[in-house]
Amino acid sequence: MDSPMSVEDYRRWKDLDYTPASRDVVPASLAGRVHAGQRALDVGCHHGAASFFMASIGLRVLGIDINPQAVEVARRRPLGSLGPWPEFVVADFLADRFAEPTSFDIVVLNRFLTCLPALPDWQSGLERARELLIDGGILYVNDFLLMPACDHNRSRYVQGYARAGRWGNFAVLDEQDQASFVAHHHSAQELRRIAAPYRLACLRRYSTRSRNGYPSRMFELIGVLKPCPLRIG
């Protein structure tokens, strides 16, 4: 018999009926930095808001999500007359081979890393994004920063650290006050780790409100992948 899936396991998103905070967020800062016809990957595309935006500026877009219901909604959304139609696929970004290495000019992690609370999965997500990009390709990340000064979050971080040993993790509760899944807010050190393989084209911090009305600190990062040095011998 299979053991119960941990709330830190990102694969819980496969069956969750939950609209994430990224539902209406689009990578508008990519406009002017990319060119029509380039290949873009939208990771954790959900209902496709970011995918359709990128298609509207002429990119050839593959949107993937582990949740079949979300992908089905994305496939039924009207695009209108702007740009090529995105392709949507049900896929596990970390485990499935849905594309060959260096297949994309742009990889978008739009509030996706927050869904990888287990550190090995988070590291694998960054490595996978780098593997799928061409040299000189663009990584776009929009995600949450730590907010320890907020009492609401600080208490959640303490509980998350006690549970799994990673500061910034916290449980998101369902209507019965049971842990539905665990999310992650990023430290400055983690932000540096995300940026390390890239030449920074944009790094912006800003404030917004969560779906529940709490203040949120965000970051937006655009990086250009540095060429890997050749190894001889």
Say yes or no to pLDDT of 42 above 90: yes
- Greater model confidence, 5 or 65: 65
Would residue 159 count as lying in a domain? no
Would residue 173 count as lying in a domain? no
Contact assessment for residue 74 and residue 47, using Cβ atoms and an 8 Å cutoff:
yes
Cβ density class 132-148: b for 16+ within 10 Å, e for less? bbbeebbbbbbbbbbbe
pLDDT at 152: 77
Cβ density class 7-16: b for 16+ within 10 Å, e for less? bbbbebbbeb
Would residue 165 count as lying in a domain? no
Nearest one of 225, 229, 171 to 198, comparing CA atoms: 225
Query: For tokens 């203040």, what's the residue?
Result: 215
pLDDT at 5: 66
Would residue 3 count as lying in a domain? no
Q: The tokens of 199 are what?
A: 């030449």
Say yes or no to pLDDT of 207 above 90: yes
The parent domain of residue 71 ranges over 10-146+187-225
Would residue 103 count as lying in a domain? yes
Cβ density class 25-38: b for 16+ within 10 Å, e for less? bbbeebeeebeeeb
Helix (H, G, I), strand (E, B) or coil at 225: strand
Query: What CATH number is associated with residue 140?
Result: 3.40.50.150
Torsion 26-154-167-156 (CA) sign: negative
Name the region of 87 (left: φ>0; alpha: ψ -120 to 50; beta: rest): beta
Say yes or no to pLDDT of 23 above 50: yes
User: Measured between alpha carbons, how far is 169 from 158 in angstroms, rounded to an integer?
Assistant: 8
Contact assessment for residue 146 and residue 217, using Cβ atoms and an 8 Å cutoff:
yes
Would residue 171 count as lying in a domain? no
Would residue 4 count as lying in a domain? no
Q: What is the pTM of this model?
A: 0.92
Tell me the pLDDT tens digit for each residue of 146-179.
998 777 788 889 998 998 899 999 988 766 667 7
Name the region of 112 (left: φ>0; alpha: ψ -120 to 50; beta: rest): alpha
Q: Which amino acid is at 45?
A: C
Say yes or no to pLDDT of 184 above 60: yes
Would residue 104 count as lying in a domain? yes
Nearest one of 138, 174, 168 to 150, comparing CA atoms: 168
Contact assessment for residue 54 and residue 108, using Cβ atoms and an 8 Å cutoff:
yes
Q: What is the largest CA-CA distance in the chain?
A: 59
Q: How many domains does the chain have?
A: 1
